[in-house]
Amino acid sequence: MTAGKLITLEGGEGAGKSTVLAAVRELLAARGIDALITREPGGTPAGEEIRRVLLDTAHHGLCAEAELLLMFASRAQLVRERVRPALAAGRWVLSDRFTDASFAYQGGGRGQPVERIAELERWAADGLQPDLTLLLDLPVAEGMRRANGRGAADRIELETADFFERVRVAYRQRAAADPARFRVIDSSRPLAVVLADVHHAVGGFLDAAGVRA
């Protein structure tokens, strides 16, 4: 039995992760891969409760340290309850966000020290690294415009444009530092063009992994 692969989708608010996730799931299915789909924060019963706390606007006073620890509490549970067992059983996992989001939002956005997040990644997330990460990148103003079309903002969506600019910079820095894992996709373009890039990136990854069409 060969281990499965972990593919993650990342990006700022309204970057189109949900839209792209459906396309990636279909691409995998077309090659006979029935991926486990999950999301962060959340993905387990306990994690979904933590997600509710994190996104509830009633908790506007949540401090940066509590926010970081709650993100990793959700992740610790998800990794052990769902992701590690799936990978060990040979199943592929497709996650809407993972640890890169903590480096971008809590590191870049909130200014939490990178070395602390890295330590949490080693300990709480069991050192688990994605095999492929698609970073959907677009200007902050366009992402906020798209996200605003979806109804009431959650606690994090209420942050300032400056906050989301720092998130974007942190994501791009992480992608530049690890080009073997990341594929940066300009998601400011029309959806059909974005999806063509996604097909190319995921198709190339599957070919390299020896998964036949």
Interacting residues with ligand T5A (CB under 6 A): 11, 13-19, 40-41, 71, 96-97, 101-102, 105-106, 146-147, 149, 156, 187, 190-191, 194
Q: Classify strands 6-11 and 132-137 as parallel, antiparallel or unpaired.
A: parallel
**CB of 4 or CB of 41, closer to ligand T5A:** 41
Task: Give the contacts of 183 (CB within 8 A, at least 6 positions apart).
Answer: 132, 133, 134, 135, 197, 201
**CB of 131 or CB of 209, closer to ligand T5A:** 131
**CB of 4 or CB of 14, closer to ligand T5A:** 14
**CB of 178 or CB of 207, closer to ligand T5A:** 178
As measured in angstroms, the least distance from the Cβ of 213 to ligand T5A is 25
As measured in angstroms, the least distance from the Cβ of 28 to ligand T5A is 18
Tokens of 101: 């989001």
As measured in angstroms, the least distance from the Cβ of 212 to ligand T5A is 29
As measured in angstroms, the least distance from the Cβ of 175 to ligand T5A is 16
Distance (Å) of CA 93 to CA 7, 97, 147: 6, 12, 26
Alpha-carbon span 15 to 138, nearest angstrom: 7
Residue 158: how many other CB atoms lie within 10 Å: 11
As measured in angstroms, the least distance from the Cβ of 211 to ligand T5A is 25
**CB of 18 or CB of 207, closer to ligand T5A:** 18
Tokens of 189: 């373009």
Phi, psi of 209 (to 5 degrees): -85, 0
**CB of 89 or CB of 191, closer to ligand T5A:** 191
Distance (Å) of CA 35 to CA 73, 174, 184: 23, 25, 22
As measured in angstroms, the least distance from the Cβ of 1 to ligand T5A is 29
